Structure 1
Amino acid sequence: MSVAKTAPHLFLSTAHACSYLPTQTASTLFIDPRFPVTPELFGDFNRRGFRRSGDLIYRPHCQSCQACVPVRIPTEAFVANRAQRRTWDRNQDLRVYATPARFDVEHFSLFLRYQNARHPGGTMANPDAPTYLRFLIGRHCDTTFYEFRLDGALAATAVVDTLLDGLSAVYTFYDPLLLERGLGTYAVLWQVAQARRRGLPFVYLGYWVKNSEKMAYKTRFKPLEAYRNGRWSALLEP
Structure 2
Amino acid sequence: MRHTLPLAPQFYVTAPQPCPYLEGRMERKLFTSLQGEHADQLNDSLSKQGFRRSQNVLYRPTCADCNACLSARIRVADFKPSKSQRRAFNKNSYLQRAATSPWATEAQYELFREYLEHRHADGGMADMDVFEFAAMIEETPIRTRVIEYYAPPTPDAPRELVATCLTDLLDDGLSMVYSFYKPELIKDSLGTYVILDHIEIAREAGLPYVYLGYWVPGSKKMGYKARFSALEVYQGGHWEDLLDPEAYSPDAHPLEAEPIAQQVAKIDLPDTHGTRPAAPMKPKTEI
TM-score bracket for this pair, using the shorter chain length: over 0.9
Structure 2 unaligned segments of length 5 or more: list them: 153-158, 246-287
2:162 matched to which residue of 1? 155
- Does the C-alpha gap of structure 1 residues 63 and 84 become closer, same or farther in structure 2, counting only changes over 3 Å? same
After superposing the two structures, state which structure 1 stretch, 14-23 or 133-142, moved more: 133-142
1:35 to partner: Cα distance: 6.5
- Higher-RCO chain (CA-CA 8 Å, sequence separation at least 6): 2
Name the one with the larger strand percent.
Answer: 1
1:223 to partner: Cα distance: 1.4
Structure 1 distance, partners of 2:108, 2:41, is 29
Structure 2 distance, partners of 1:142, 1:29, is 23
Within-5 A mapping of 1:1-238: 5-32=6-33, 37-151=38-152, 152-238=159-245
SS at match of 2:191: helix
1:5 to partner: Cα distance: 4.1
1:16 to partner: Cα distance: 1.0
1:159 to partner: Cα distance: 1.1
SS at match of 1:72: strand
Structure 1 distance, partners of 2:22, 2:36, is 31
For residues 28-81 of structure 1, what are the alpha-carbon distances to aligned partners after superposition, in whole Å with 9 as ceiling and x for unaligned?
A: 100146676520111000000000111111000012000000110000000000
- Does the C-alpha gap of structure 1 residues 163 and 94 become closer, same or farther in structure 2, counting only changes over 3 Å? same
- Does the C-alpha gap of structure 1 residues 136 and 211 become closer, same or farther in structure 2, counting only changes over 3 Å? farther
- Retained in 2: the 8 A contact 1:9–1:31? yes
Structure 1 distance, partners of 2:220, 2:37, is 36
Structure 1 distance, partners of 2:227, 2:137, is 25
- Retained in 2: the 8 A contact 1:70–1:205? yes
For residues 116-156 of structure 1, what are the alpha-carbon distances to aligned partners after superposition, in whole Å with 9 as ceiling and x for unaligned?
A: 11111211114212211333444232111111111211111
- Retained in 2: the 8 A contact 1:11–1:32? no
- Does the C-alpha gap of structure 1 residues 198 and 104 become closer, same or farther in structure 2, counting only changes over 3 Å? same
- Retained in 2: the 8 A contact 1:55–1:134? no
Q: How many residues align?
A: 236
- Retained in 2: the 8 A contact 1:72–1:205? yes
1:237 to partner: Cα distance: 2.6
- Retained in 2: the 8 A contact 1:144–1:159? yes
Which amino acid in the other structure matches residue 235 of structure 1?
L
- Retained in 2: the 8 A contact 1:113–1:175? yes
- Does the C-alpha gap of structure 1 residues 60 and 37 become closer, same or farther in structure 2, counting only changes over 3 Å? farther
- Does the C-alpha gap of structure 1 residues 212 and 4 become closer, same or farther in structure 2, counting only changes over 3 Å? farther
For residues 176-220 of structure 1, what are the alpha-carbon distances to aligned partners after superposition, in whole Å with 9 as ceiling and x for unaligned?
A: 122211111000000000100000000001100001101000001
Structure 2 distance, partners of 1:157, 1:32, is 26
1:10 to partner: Cα distance: 0.7
SS at match of 1:41: helix
TM-score (normalised: structure 2)? 0.79
Structure whose alpha-carbon radius of gyration is higher: 2
TM-score (normalised: structure 1)? 0.94
- Retained in 1: the 8 A contact 2:28–2:63? yes
Structure 1 unaligned segments of length 5 or more: list them: none
